[in-house]
């Protein structure tokens, strides 16, 4: 038997054409976004002949990363650019099919790392959609006007309500296990039993029925909220969309446009990089170390909601964190070999805190609220990025408040003990105490101090800038070398880190980063994704005769029957 990696596409297959994550509704190829007052319609109509990379056709509204990048963009823009929208109908533009899920040929021809990162991104998008329902009053309604299978049904599961047309054809299904020997890896199994609380024996039956379940049985099992006769489907969808929209208070317009990030990319020998307005990314291909530097704002924050709105998409917090998000995705998909990220900051820490406090003060303004939610999502993306992360707190850095979260998200922090000369400082702001929780529902400070919860309350009183010794004693940083030792100590730590097995580090970090309570979110990333990653390595799925590899061929897959 030949295992997956023996036939895995070359290291460069994924990175030869870099994936870019910026898009705009005017350029969507696969979704149509339209508006009718408080109700938006997001219609999936995948262009079969426009895959992200050549080699497969996106038949039957199946999707690849390119389709999901547009969905992520739509979910984000709806929140900022269309505050008047209070419900979003997700439906299909194709006849008889809602969505066939992730494209199998795309999966079959992708590297292990790409598959894992693709699933992670689609999971993040669906969690953002659920967050929009919960936090932004934008309620998603899945209107299944055809078959929703695999990732198609998982998309529906992320919506707040699911309507299924009762037409003898429309069905929901998870054919992954029976047909492909993999798992529904985009949160489906978790949402089935934990979000919808479907009885586990019924879930077991459903997940092994390739053809899925339709009509009344789908409703009885709890797989959908309601089945609706085809003749009344459109009407009921509108009714339910209006009802969901009615439940939400208005958010005063106009919306805030999200401008392009205008990144300058460069390449110089072994180093390549991306310069944004507030963020820069440098990847060294020979050392496999990446550096992300975030600059502090250079002006005081807007002090009123009106001024905040005028700053709009150029507001430091929004733009800087959108840039950071783009850099993280660039790293994940285009630089898989960069194993360690060094986080640096530069600028006036006082300005960072001023911007944080302005947002905290105005948090009841919907736009400020959305900015905070966007920052939260980006920091979660960082927590979930499978790269080691060290924060380097040097003289001239500005790890304060929201940027201090970078050190808390990092696996460890080195802070220069500069003595009288070049001192480095860290500082907290209101945002460290609740607005930017992790996937486990706790703040990063709470997670850090699970063993000494009193510390968090005590830190809330420390409003000053802290030098290295104070920060170390407060448990906020890991190591505090002085100027003499700094360079050697950091260099050795970096060299040592990048010498370790990338897989062992990924597993170790994912286990150490999320102590404390579990949530739907941590369950999806920690349990479901880990099992999915395992299965994506198994010969029964991806081997020469594995089910994923053999899909669409006349021969049947061959299994090694041993259970583990």
Applying the rule CB under 8 A, the residues between 269 and 298 that interact with its own copies are 288
- Rule CB under 8 A: is residue 126 a binding residue for its own copies? no
Of 162 and 181, the one with the shorter C-beta distance to its own copies is: 181
Q: 163 forms bridges with which residues in the sheet?
A: 143, 226
Name, in order, each residue with C-beta under 8 angstroms of 368's C-beta and a sequence gap of 6 or more. Answer: 305, 308, 359, 362
Q: Measuring CA to CA, which residue among 400, 324, 388, 394 is closest to residue 356?
A: 400
Q: Select from 433, 465, 531, 551 the one that contacts its own copies (CB under 8 A).
A: 531
- Which one of the spans 78-86, 199-207, 240-248, 483-491 is the region binding its own copies (CB under 8 A)? 199-207
Centroid of chain to Cα 289: 22
**Encoding tokens for residue 191?**
């949402």
Q: Is there binding between residue 183 and its own copies (CB under 8 A)?
A: yes
Using rule CB under 8 A, residue 186 touches its own copies: no
Q: How far apart are CA 69 and CA 64, in angstroms?
A: 9
CA dihedral defined by 407, 410, 411, 412, rounded to 10 degrees? -30
Of residues 212 through 241, those in contact with its own copies by CB under 8 A are 222
In whole angstroms, how close is the CB of 382 to its own copies at the nearest point?
14
Among 413, 429, 439, 549, binds its own copies (CB under 8 A): 413
Does 538 interact with its own copies (rule: CB under 8 A)?
yes
Among 109, 248, 284, 478, binds its own copies (CB under 8 A): 478
Q: Which of 183, 112, 118, 123 shows the shortest CA–CA distance to 150?
A: 183
Name beta bridge partners: 293.
Answer: 280, 344
- The two structure tokens encoding residue 179: 């047909």
3-state secondary structure of 229: strand
Nearer to its own copies, 262 or 560 (CB): 560
Cα 454 vs. chain centroid, distance in angstroms?
Answer: 31
Rounded to 5 degrees, φ, ψ at 479 are: -125, 145
What is the per-residue binding string for its own copies in 431-450, x denoting contact by CB under 8 A? ----------------xxxx
Sole binder of its own copies in the list 5, 34, 304, 463 (CB under 8 A): 5
Nearest CB to its own copies, comparing residues 193 and 236 = 193
Nearer to its own copies, 77 or 381 (CB): 381
Q: Binding to its own copies by residue 64, rule CB under 8 A?
A: no
12-41 as b/e: b if 16+ CB within 10 A: eebbeeebebebeeeebebbebeeeebbbb
Rounded to whole angstroms, how far apart are CA atoms 156 and 141? 8
Give me the least distance between CB of 459 and its own copies, in Å please. Answer: 14
* Per-residue CA distances from 163 to 30, 78, 552 (Å): 22, 22, 30
Q: Which is nearer to its own copies, 3 or 236 (CB)?
A: 3
| Residue 107 near its own copies by CB under 8 A | no
Instruction: Decide whether 168 or 554 has the Cβ nearer to its own copies.
Output: 554
Tell whether residue 108 is a contact of its own copies (CB under 8 A). no
SS (H, E, C) 73-123: HHHHHHHHHCCCCCEEEEEECCCEEEECEECHHHHHCCCHHHHHHHHHHHH
Specify the residue, 59 or 472, whose C-beta has the smaller distance to its own copies.
472
- Binding its own copies by CB under 8 A: which of 129, 189, 213, 237? 189
**Residues in a beta bridge with 44:** 31, 92
Find the binder of its own copies among 53, 59, 112, 217 (CB under 8 A). Answer: 112
User: Judged by CB, which is closer to its own copies: 57, or 530?
Assistant: 530
Q: How many residues line the site for its own copies (CB under 8 A)? A: 101
**Binding flag, residue 10, its own copies (CB under 8 A):** no
Q: Is 485 in the site for its own copies (CB under 8 A)?
A: no
> Would you give the binding string for its own copies spanning residues 338-377, x where CB under 8 A is met?
xx--------------------------------------
C-alpha closest to that of 79 among 212, 233, 258: 258
Locate 507 and state its tokens: 């597993």
Using CB under 8 A as the binding rule, whether residue 170 contacts its own copies is answered as: no
Region binding its own copies by CB under 8 A among candidate stretches 100-108, 194-202, 229-237, 465-473: 194-202
Of the pair 348, 470, the CB lying nearest its own copies is at: 470
CA distance 394 to 423: 8
Q: Which of 411, 446, 467, 521 binds its own copies (CB under 8 A)?
A: 411
Contacting residue, 475, 489, 545, 551, with its own copies by CB under 8 A: 475
380 interacts with its own copies by CB under 8 A: no
How far is 23 from 27, CA to CA, in rounded Å? 7
Comparison of 214 and 513: residue with beta carbon closer to its own copies = 513
Taking phi over 0 as left and psi of -120 to 50 as alpha, with beta for the rest, 181 belongs to left
User: Which of 45, 337 has the CB closer to its own copies?
Assistant: 337
> Minimum distance from CB of 339 to its own copies (Å)?
6
Decide if 241 contacts 234 (C-beta within 8 A).
no
Minimum CB separation from its own copies for residue 155, in Å? 18
Query: Taking contact as CB under 8 A, which single stretch among the options 4-12, 90-98, 133-141, 349-357 is the one that binds its own copies?
Result: 4-12
Among 22, 45, 84, 337, binds its own copies (CB under 8 A): 337
Pick 34 or 501: Cβ nearer its own copies? 501
Distance of alpha carbon 549 from alpha carbon 86, whole angstroms: 42
In 337-449, at which residue ranges do the beta strands (DSSP E only) sit? 340-346, 388-393, 399-400, 412-415, 426-427
Q: 15 to 34, contacts with its own copies by CB under 8 A?
A: none
3-state secondary structure at position 144: strand
Q: For its own copies, which stretch binds (CB under 8 A), given 132-140, 175-183, 352-360, 374-382?
A: 175-183
Rounded Cα distance, 154 and 465, in Å: 46
Stretch that binds its own copies, among 248-256, 330-338, 351-359, 361-369 (CB under 8 A): 330-338
């Amino acid at each position: 038997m030949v295992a997956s990696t023996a036939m895995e596409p070359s290291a460069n297959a994924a990175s030869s054409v870099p994936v870019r994550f910026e898009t705009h509704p005017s350029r969507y190829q696969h979704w149509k976004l339209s508006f009718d007052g408080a109700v938006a319609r997001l219609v999936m109509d995948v262009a079969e002949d426009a895959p992200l990379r050549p080699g497969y056709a996106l038949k039957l509204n199946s999707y690849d990363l390119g389709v999901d990048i547009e969905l992520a963009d739509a979910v984000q823009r709806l929140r900022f650019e269309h505050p008047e929208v209070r419900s979003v109908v997700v439906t299909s533009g194709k006849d008889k099919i809602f969505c066939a899920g992730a494209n199998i040929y795309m999966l079959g021809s992708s590297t292990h790392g790409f598959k894992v990162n693709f699933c992670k991104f689609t999971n993040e998008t669906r969690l953002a959609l659920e967050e929009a329902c919960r936090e932004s009053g934008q309620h998603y309604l899945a209107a299944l006007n055809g078959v929703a299978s695999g990732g198609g049904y998982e998309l529906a599961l992320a919506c707040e309500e699911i309507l299924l047309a009762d037409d003898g054809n429309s069905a929901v299904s998870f054919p992954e296990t029976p047909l492909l020997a993999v798992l529904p890896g985009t949160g489906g199994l978790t949402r089935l039993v934990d979000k919808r609380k479907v009885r586990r024996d019924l879930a077991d039956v459903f997940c092994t029925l390739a053809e899925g379940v339709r009509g009344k049985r789908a409703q009885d099992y709890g797989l959908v909220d309601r089945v609706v006769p085809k003749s009344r489907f459109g009407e009921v969808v509108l009714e339910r969309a209006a009802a969901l929209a009615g439940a939400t208070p208005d958010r005063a317009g106009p919306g805030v446009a999200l401008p392009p990030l205008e990144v300058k990319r460069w390449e110089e020998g072994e180093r390549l990089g991306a310069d944004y307005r507030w963020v820069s990314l440098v990847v060294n291909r020979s050392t496999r170390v990446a550096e992300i530097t975030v600059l502090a704002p250079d002006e005081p924050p807007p002090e009123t909601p009106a001024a905040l709105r005028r700053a709009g998409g150029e507001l430091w917090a929004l733009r800087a964190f959108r840039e950071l998000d783009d850099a993280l995705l660039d790293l994940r998909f285009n630089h898989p070999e960069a194993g360690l990220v060094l986080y640096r900051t530069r600028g006036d820490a006082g300005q960072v805190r001023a911007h944080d406090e302005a947002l905290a003060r105005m948090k009841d303004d919907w736009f400020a609220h959305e900015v905070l939610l966007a920052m939260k999502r980006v920091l979660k993306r960082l927590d979930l990025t499978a790269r080691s992360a060290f924060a380097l707190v040097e003289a001239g850095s500005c790890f304060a408040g929201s940027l201090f979260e970078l050190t808390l998200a990092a696996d460890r922090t080195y802070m220069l003990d500069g003595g009288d000369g070049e001192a480095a400082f860290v500082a907290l702001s209101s945002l460290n105490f609740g607005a930017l929780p992790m996937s486990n529902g706790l703040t990063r400070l709470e997670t850090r101090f699970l063993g000494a919860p009193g510390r968090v309350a005590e830190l809330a009183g420390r409003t000053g800038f802290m030098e290295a010794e104070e920060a170390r004693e407060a448990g906020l940083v890991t190591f505090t070398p002085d100027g003499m030792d700094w360079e050697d100590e950091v260099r050795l730590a970096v060299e040592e880190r990048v010498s370790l097995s990338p897989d062992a580090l990924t597993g170790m970090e994912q286990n150490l980063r999320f102590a404390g309570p579990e949530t739907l979110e941590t369950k999806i990333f920690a349990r479901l994704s880990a099992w999915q990653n395992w299965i994506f390595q198994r010969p029964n799925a991806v081997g020469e005769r594995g089910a994923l590899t053999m899909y669409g061929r006349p021969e049947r897959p061959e299994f090694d029957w041993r259970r583990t």
